[in-house]
Amino acid sequence: MLSSRLERLALLATVAVGLGGCGVVALPFRATSAVVKIVPVAGDVVAAPLDVTADVVD
């Protein structure tokens, strides 16, 4: 009985940690956006959709 409760608690903790990692998923979008913003003239235009995507993921 105790083992079953511990397994359920461990599963719940694993799911909670997995859902808390959304920032990790958004990191490539944020990094790419930061690099693209360096490009003169077109950088901000290209980075705008990447910023929106990262905000949606978060």
Is 14 within a domain? no
Torsion of CA 36, 41, 42, 48, to 10 degrees: 70
Bigger pLDDT: 46 vs 21 = 46
34 close to 58: Cβ distance less than 8 angstroms:
no
Is pTM beyond 0.85? Reply is no
Is the pLDDT at 3 greater than 80, yes or no?
no
Domain residues for the domain of 35 are: 21-58
Is the pLDDT at 1 greater than 60, yes or no?
no
Number of domains in the chain: 1
Is 29 within a domain? yes
Task: Give per-residue pLDDT as tens, 11-34.
Answer: 777 766 666 667 777 888 889 999
